[in-house]
Structure formats: C-alpha cells, structure tokens
Amino acid sequence: MSAVTSATFVLSVNDLDVSTRFYIEKLGFQETLRVEGWSFLERGACQLRLGHCPDAQPMARCPDHSWFAYLHVDDAARLYAECVARGVAIWHPLADKPWGVREFAIVTPDGHRIVFGEERGA
C-alpha cells in the first residue's frame, strides 16, 4: 500500500483576501502561491488551499462538530498564547483532555473550526 506523505486542506472562503490575511497574520502561515480565486498557504507540515466562494454557506451555520482539521503540534500552550495575543476567536480554551492530549480550538473568519493538540500521554 502506498504511504500518505502529507495532507492539504481545501477550504471555501467567502472573502479570499480577508481569509488569507487571517491565516498569515493570526496563525503564522505563509502564502506560497496566489492564482485567480485561490491562495496556497503553509505552516510547517500543514498546507491549505483557500478557494474564493463568495456564495458558499458559511461553516458557522454548521453543527458544533463541523471542524475541518485536527492539527498535531509540539507546544499547544505556546501556540494558544500566540492565538490569544493575536485576537484569534477561541472555540474551546486550552485544556488537558482525558485522552492524553493538551488541546484547544479556534474559529476562522469563515466559521471553520481548527483543533490543535499536543500529545501528553495517557
């Protein structure tokens, strides 16, 4: 069986410029390519492709567990502090979970929810 070597998330966004700025300024991503209607971003091993879809229903209208990614990080507390300092909307605050992970979750301007988790052991 062929191995999966990386992952890219493709998201529809209502305003490409606003969303791209959010990922760059608030979450520390870098834009690697911009073509008509698309912004390609990355931070470490995480790659995003934001597609301009001005008429798409915002994810904020979807049920509570409609999050698009769980990103594994090496220091959740430090990343949480960065997000709070930059004014990122927090969905769930930083907490140690009974499944052995320290995690928190954010909400993007389009209502996409991202969970960040650091393995802590059971």
Q: Report how many domains make up the chain.
A: 1
pLDDT in tens, 41-82: 999 999 999 999 988 877 767 666 566 788 999 999 999 999
- For the chain, the average pLDDT equals 91
2 lies in some domain: no
How sure is the predictor about 111, in pLDDT bands with cuts at 50, 70 and 90?
confident
Residue 3 has pLDDT above 90, yes or no: no
Q: What span, in angstroms and rounded, lies between the C-alpha atoms of 11 and 20?
A: 11
For residue 114, what is the domain's CATH number? Answer: 3.10.180.10
pLDDT of res. 29: 97
For 2, phi and psi rounded to 5 degrees?
Answer: -75, 140
pLDDT given for residue 32 in this prediction: 98
Q: Is residue 22 situated within a structural domain?
A: yes
Residue 21 belongs to some domain of the structure: yes
110-119: average pLDDT: 91
Residue 85 counted as domain residue: yes
How high is the pLDDT of residue 99?
92
Spatial separation of the C-alpha atoms in residues 80 and 57, rounded to whole Å: 28
The residue among 54 and 39 whose pLDDT is bigger is 39
Can you give the residue range of the structural domain that contains 82?
A: 7-119
